[in-house]
Structure 1
Amino acid sequence: MNISSAIVNARPGGVAIVQAGLATLPGVEVHGISPEGKLIVTIETEDDASNVATYERIGQLDGVLSAAMVFHQTESEPENEVSVEADLQVTPQLQGDLK
């Protein structure tokens, strides 16, 4: 899963149109709007290709001047994670070093 945030800049007077367009995109959520026409959004997608496609679609929306990624994180699926367990013992020498 990809999670990212972006600042989307709308044309003057075009914030409502941009906000409506963003609402049609899956995984996109608007969290704030400034009086200057900047929208703070988060984007959740399944993979990198979907993330890129979503940014391209945002850039093509009516009223959008630009979209700039601010943050990006890729999270692995829990069922694909590997857990490693170790039984560690502190040796007498290491105990002395820790004091």
Structure 2
Amino acid sequence: MTREEFHVSSLVVLTLPPLRHRLAEQIAALDGAEIHAVSDEGKLVVTLEGPSQRPIMAAIDAINAMPGVLSAALIYHQFDEAEGRE
């Protein structure tokens, strides 16, 4: 038996408003990403899920590197351990 982790994080991503829908599509294409809201002002509410903190941080770095993203702020991060089988 191995112990597996499940991580979930939420972010608020501030974008240039004219690019908000294109950026929402790009972010949603990232593994484990889901868009929950897109405002007219360019704010996106995003969750990221993954097996460890490393892919979550890689996704945040990828979001911050997207042209038109002004900032990606981590709002919440939680992980749970669950017993799994190899």
* Category of TM-score, reference length = shorter chain: 0.7 to 0.9
SS of aligned partner of 1:62: coil
Does the CA contact (< 8 Å) of 1:2 and 1:73 recur in 2?
yes
Per-residue deviation, 1:12: 2.8
Q: Give the ranges of 4+ consecutive aligned residues of structure 1 lying more than 4 Å apart after TM superposition.
A: none
**What is the CA–CA distance in structure 1 between the aligned matches of 2:8 and 2:22, rounded to whole Å?**
24
Per-residue deviation, 1:13: 0.8
The structure number with the bigger radius of gyration is: 1
Structure 2 spans left out of the alignment, 5+ residues? 1-5
Q: Match of 1:52?
A: 57
Per-residue deviation, 1:78: 3.1
Residues 51-77 of structure 1: CA distance to partner in whole angstroms, max 9, x if unpaired? 111110111122111100111001112
Q: Is 1:28 matched with 2:24?
A: no
**What is the CA–CA distance in structure 1 between the aligned matches of 2:70 and 2:31, rounded to whole Å?**
21
Does the CA contact (< 8 Å) of 1:17 and 1:63 recur in 2?
no
Identical counterparts, % of pairs:
34
Structure 1 spans left out of the alignment, 5+ residues? 81-99
TM-score (norm 1): 0.74
Does the CA contact (< 8 Å) of 1:21 and 1:62 recur in 2?
no
Per-residue deviation, 1:79: 3.1
Provide the aligned length of Structure 1 versus Structure 2. 80
- Listed as ranges, the matches of 1:12-91 within 5 Å are 12-79=17-84
Which residue identity lines up with residue 29 of structure 2 in the other structure? T
Q: Which of the two has greater strand per residue?
A: 2
**What is the CA–CA distance in structure 2 between the aligned matches of 1:31 and 1:5, rounded to whole Å?**
10
